[in-house]
Amino acid sequence: MSGYRLTSDTGATPVSFKFNGKTYQGVQGDTLASALLANGVTLVGRSFKYHRPRGIFSAGSEEPNAAVNVVRGDELEPNTLATTLEIYNGLEAKSQNCWPSVDFDVNAINSLLSPIFVAGFYYKTFMGTSNKHWMFFEKHIRKAAGMGEASVTADSSRYEKQNVFCDVLIVGAGPAGISAALTQAATGARVVLADENAQMGGALIGSTQEIAGQDGDGWVREQLEKLKTFDNVKLLPRTTVYGYYDNNTFGAVERVSDHLTTSEAKGKIRQRHLVLKSKKVILATGALERPILFGDNDRPGVMLASAVGKYVKRYGVVPGREIVMFTNNDSIYQEIAELGARNVPIKAVVDLRDTLSDYAAAVKEKYNLRIYHNAAVVRAVGGKALKSVILNNGETLTCDVLGVSGGWTPTIHLQSQQGDKPVYDETICSFLPGMGHQDYVSIGACKGSFDLSACLSEGGLAEVRVEDEPSLNILPVFDIETTKGKKFVDLQHDVKTSDIKLAKQEGFLSVEHLKRYTTLGMANDQGKTANVNALVVMSKERQLPITEVGTTRFRPPYAPVSIGALSGGEYGEHFRPTRRTPMHEWHLDHGAEMINAGAWVRPRVYKKAGETVTDAYIREAAAVRESVGMVDVTSLGKIEVIGPDAPEFLNRVYTNAWLKLPVGKARYGVMLREDGHVFDDGTTWRLEENRFLMTTTTANAANVLTHLEFLLDVIWPELKVKVVSVTEQWAGLAIAGPNSRAVLAKALHDVDMSNEAFPFMAVQDAKLGDIPVKVARLSFSGELAYEVWCPSHYGYAMWDQLYQAGQDFNITPYGTEALGTLRIEKGHISGPELDGRTTVDDLDLGWAWGKKDFVGKPLAGRDGMVDEDRLKLVGLVSKEEKAIRPGSQIVLSNAETTLGVSQGHVTSTTYSPALGKYIALALVKNGRNKIGETVYATYPLKNESQAVEIVKPHFFDPDGSRMHV
């Protein structure tokens, strides 16, 4: 093949690009495919399985062959279609699926072995009798097959998402879509017109067909200019609508800067993922030409006839010097007429039909065509380029391009995605959209209206006059009987007609089975040019009409979507939002190593020079026991429970009693789910007669609020109670240790901090300088401790002022690690124990079990919930002075460390500076009756095991004397 650019188009802006290391010149507006064709490049890639030479087959997103790797610095973008990739100065692309080069590919030997590489070859040959066989071969098979090379460096491009709402969404900006857009725009509706191509206009781009007294190209440009004058119309070129979802919602990708040079694109969004929502939808997605099957129909130079026409019309590029056309319908004569109008010669037309329509006859006469009637191409001859074709009469025609038209397949992917069952239409030999399930209409070629006048009319421009247009006049011949050469149905996955026959022989009759057995219609082209022909072959094999063979449904995406586009902007620092407490900057300024706790970011430890995390938390926990420490507890969930029925509501929500809690006091509470398992725990403070402040665990804040709202809205709507999240209103810290009272007494005013005036579980208002605070005498650490809360904007100042006040007592800020250490030493439960599977008794909280009714009580009494053998909370002490790994399984003897039956698991672990031992909390089967026993904490994944003694979970100060001083 030796393509060339028409001299009339040489005035365009030149563009320099590289392909397989060689520099070429194209012009602005070219795709990589058109530019390569203009440069006479025939060979673009190698096929998936047999590594056969492949060229350019189409001129759009249906391309099965010409997928390339685009190189951007260290980044690679595989499977980019040369037929849609717009060139720019500096573009670098290379062939994929070949080694060492596309010209000499070692794996081309596969083609010689093709008799054994039939459908199902890998499964039959490499599965073996166990997974090990497949796992051994899989990596080699994958390496050999490949579909491009993925980048190993992070994608540096910018992506984003956008929501687009409109009254009418029109997908496809060909003549039907543009007509519809003009019609809808005139009504004042908000119209979005999206098209996957850089240029809107579809088949009319570059067309000389006469419309309303001017050529098609001029007419469509004029209509697009009209559309741009409407404020209510949004045009989205380079936008592929890839998915149709419920409620007229569509996914689309706008290629914003893929066509720009590196410097032009710098800082710009690369691709934008659009979510389109429309009241009405008009699908004008057109149709794709399909090939006719014959021997060696994959040779570079065999192309769709419409692609030949597009390269000439749109890009001024003629794909070859000697062009033969092969058809079973009249549409090819329109392309021939377009070529003829530009003086591009056609060597011959091979027509499967006996006679010509008036339109075809006129074209024949005008361009003096040599037509072979009732003839077929049986084989293409060539290697890396087409040399000739052999006809069924034995004649050989030399040529470098064969344009093939086997008819047109309406593009009904979107209709099919939302549930329409395609319906086969014998007049066009293809499938049409079935009954619609959503509010949309199909117009134009995608509903089988191939006439231009019909497209315009269905779009609402019935008055526009169209001259000289052919009808389809298709002869239903899809597959030419041949004796030589491979007949490829699916070019991208190297699926041959013989593979379909084999699938049928082996019992894979359903089209769904056929697809999966042969991989037909898979990969990034999704069989756009293959599916109908495959069904024809199968129907012939099964001797059934196509309507009875059935068809597969399409799933999103219509065309490949990059992972970057799907992520939108959600990567890096935008991967997920984080919640910072008001004291965040203070923590960072004082050496805190932070850790995520859900969305919150909390200090884990405050490292001093040379300290490890372990060193730091041991120091911090010890400081609390010895003097005083402070920890940020802002992330605790906080919910105001307000209203005259609030006490009754709490009484029903918590397991323990709440009716008599006085104002100014707090109480610990446990709440269950309806199924009787422990849901959450925390303290709730009675601030006023009818106003309570409930705290929840950090992790369950939102879940508890939802639970409470559900109870009030659905179960007890008669209760006069409101619940409001105030988590963000309050900043909080806990100050703990023997000197905590002294620090607060020094810093606070308007409050008496004495034990008598401020007893355990009391809640009082106070002032810290000008900052109003609430102080509650609570202890999670087991020490004399208080929580101090203030309105959030004061949080930093509150923390800093208390820190300064504590300097005389060597106050130590501590993080979540030390917080965990202190509560584990006390046997207090937290997230790891509140795992949704534990009961009140499992966690040794039976003292909180009230006699009154409460949520979860009925189901908490089920047999399985009160079984003695349930996992019970216990403490563990390492007998080997080693850290106990969280998640370790408990087994009874050392011999069982890898295969034993688990008796439970370790939930929380720490080194206890107070005890000088490694300790843990665990849930152990019937654990409370095993106190004093030695068991083994085993962690098979690390091949670790150690002896531990089961003890009561209250390791430190079990009578609580330290917090009641």
Partner 1 sequence: MYNEISISPLQGVLNAGHEVSYDAEKSVDLKELAVTSIVQIDCWHGKEADLFAVFKEKLQIEGAMENGSVWKTADFFVMNTSPGSYMAVSYTVGIWDYLKDLISDDIAVMTDLSHSRSVLSVSGAGVLDVLSKGMNIDLDETVFPINHVKQTSIAHMGVTCYRADKDDFKLFVFRGFAQSFYQWLTHSAHDVGYRTS
Q: Is 576 in the site for partner 1 (CB under 8 A)?
A: yes
Size of the site for partner 1 (CB under 8 A): 51
d(CA 631, CA 787): 9
d(CA 632, CA 582): 10
- Give the DSSP H/E element, type plus range, for residue 478: none
Q: Which residue's CB is nearer to partner 1, number 161 or number 540?
A: 161
| Choice from 6, 141, 275, 613 touching partner 1 (CB under 8 A) | 275
Instruction: Write the interaction track for partner 1 spanning residues 759-778; mark x where CB under 8 A is met and - where it is not.
Output: ----------xxx-------
For residue 351, give both structure tokens: 């027509």
Shortest Cβ 369–partner 1 spacing (Å): 52
Q: Which residue's CB is nearer to partner 1, number 798 or number 921?
A: 798
Shortest Cβ 521–partner 1 spacing (Å): 33
d(CA 244, CA 53): 36
Q: Which residue's CB is nearer to partner 1, number 729 or number 926?
A: 729
Shortest Cβ 639–partner 1 spacing (Å): 10
Q: Which residue's CB is nearer to partner 1, number 137 or number 796?
A: 796
Q: Which residue's CB is nearer to partner 1, number 235 or number 348?
A: 235
For residue 407, give both structure tokens: 């008819």
Q: Is 717 in the site for partner 1 (CB under 8 A)?
A: yes
The label of the residue with tokens 């720490």 reads: 910
| Strand, helix or coil for residue 542 | helix
Q: Is 247 in the site for partner 1 (CB under 8 A)?
A: no
Q: Is 728 in the site for partner 1 (CB under 8 A)?
A: yes
* Footprint (CB under 8 A) of partner 1, residues 598-637: 599-600, 634
Question: Is the omega angle on the peptide bond into residue 557 within 30 degrees of 0, that is, cis?
Answer: yes
Q: Which residue's CB is nearer to partner 1, number 160 or number 351?
A: 160
Q: Is 720 in the site for partner 1 (CB under 8 A)?
A: yes
Shortest Cβ 578–partner 1 spacing (Å): 5
Q: Which residue's CB is nearer to partner 1, number 410 or number 647?
A: 647
| Strand, helix or coil for residue 61 | coil
User: Candidates 203-211, 430-438, 448-456, 575-583 — which segment interacts with partner 1 by CB under 8 A?
Assistant: 575-583
Shortest Cβ 122–partner 1 spacing (Å): 42
Q: Rounded to an integer, what is the distance from CA 771 to the centroid of its chain?
A: 47
Residue 823 and residue 781 in contact, taking contact as beta carbons nearer than 8 Å: yes
Q: Which residue's CB is nearer to partner 1, number 371 or number 721?
A: 721
Q: Is 133 in the site for partner 1 (CB under 8 A)?
A: no
Shortest Cβ 330–partner 1 spacing (Å): 46
Closest CA to 241 of 414, 462, 366: 414
d(CA 430, CA 533): 9
Q: Is 796 in the site for partner 1 (CB under 8 A)?
A: yes
Instruction: Write the interaction track for partner 1 spanning residues 650-689; mark x where CB under 8 A is met and - where it is not.
Output: ----------------------------------------
> What are the start-end ranges of the E strands in 260-376?
269-283, 287-289, 302-304, 317-318, 323-327, 348-351, 371-372
Angle at 50 between CA 46 and CA 53, to 5 degrees: 30
User: Candidates 265-273, 408-416, 478-486, 826-834 — which segment interacts with partner 1 by CB under 8 A?
Assistant: 265-273
d(CA 357, CA 784): 100
Q: Is 797 in the site for partner 1 (CB under 8 A)?
A: yes
Q: Is 269 in the site for partner 1 (CB under 8 A)?
A: yes
| Choice from 213, 577, 610, 932 touching partner 1 (CB under 8 A) | 577
Residue 227 and residue 56 in contact, taking contact as beta carbons nearer than 8 Å: no
Q: Which residue's CB is nearer to partner 1, number 358 or number 689?
A: 689
d(CA 519, CA 499): 10
Shortest Cβ 158–partner 1 spacing (Å): 8
Distances (CA, A) of 608 to 265, 620, 807: 45, 11, 17
Instruction: Write the interaction track for partner 1 spanning residues 775-794; mark x where CB under 8 A is met and - where it is not.
Output: ----------------xxxx
Provide φ and ψ at 938, rounded to 5°. -120, 145
Provide φ and ψ at 872, rounded to 5°. -115, 150
Shortest Cβ 701–partner 1 spacing (Å): 11
| Choice from 108, 477, 726, 892 touching partner 1 (CB under 8 A) | 726
Classify residue 749 by its DSSP letter.
Answer: B
Shortest Cβ 822–partner 1 spacing (Å): 25
Shortest Cβ 133–partner 1 spacing (Å): 44
Q: Which residues contact 280 (CB under 8 A, 6 or more apart)?
A: 167, 168, 169, 189, 248, 439, 440
Residue 338 and residue 208 in contact, taking contact as beta carbons nearer than 8 Å: yes
Closest CA to 912 of 620, 526, 483, 477: 620
DSSP string over 406-449 = --EEE--HHHHHTTPPPEEETTTTEEE--S-SSSEEE-GGGGT-
Q: Is 834 in the site for partner 1 (CB under 8 A)?
A: no
Q: Is 803 in the site for partner 1 (CB under 8 A)?
A: no
User: Candidates 36-44, 264-272, 475-483, 750-758 — which segment interacts with partner 1 by CB under 8 A?
Assistant: 264-272
d(CA 347, CA 732): 85
Shortest Cβ 690–partner 1 spacing (Å): 8
Q: Which residue's CB is nearer to partner 1, number 42 or number 562?
A: 562
* Footprint (CB under 8 A) of partner 1, residues 143-172: 158, 160-165
Q: Which residue's CB is nearer to partner 1, number 167 or number 479?
A: 167
Provide φ and ψ at 878, rounded to 5°. -65, 130
| Choice from 97, 110, 581, 812 touching partner 1 (CB under 8 A) | 581
Count of C-beta atoms within a 10 Å radius of residue 612: 10
| Choice from 114, 690, 926, 934 touching partner 1 (CB under 8 A) | 690
Q: Is 954 in the site for partner 1 (CB under 8 A)?
A: no
| Choice from 120, 383, 569, 664 touching partner 1 (CB under 8 A) | 569
User: Candidates 286-294, 314-322, 478-486, 795-803 — which segment interacts with partner 1 by CB under 8 A?
Assistant: 795-803
Q: Is 573 in the site for partner 1 (CB under 8 A)?
A: yes
For the chain, helix (H) and strand (E) counts, in that order, are: 25, 52
Q: Is 56 in the site for partner 1 (CB under 8 A)?
A: no
Q: Which residue's CB is nearer to partner 1, number 155 or number 210?
A: 155
> What are the start-end ranges of the E strands in 623-729?
629-632, 637-642, 666-672, 678-688, 691-696, 722-725
d(CA 672, CA 835): 12
Burial of 918 (0-12, 13-18, 19+ CB in 10 A): buried
DSSP string over 711-725 = IIIII-TTS--EEEE
Q: Which residue's CB is nearer to partner 1, number 633 or number 937?
A: 633
Residues that bind partner 1 (CB under 8 A): 158, 160-165, 190, 267-269, 275, 277, 569-570, 573-574, 576-582, 585, 599-600, 634, 640, 642-643, 690, 717, 720, 722, 724, 726-730, 769-771, 791-797
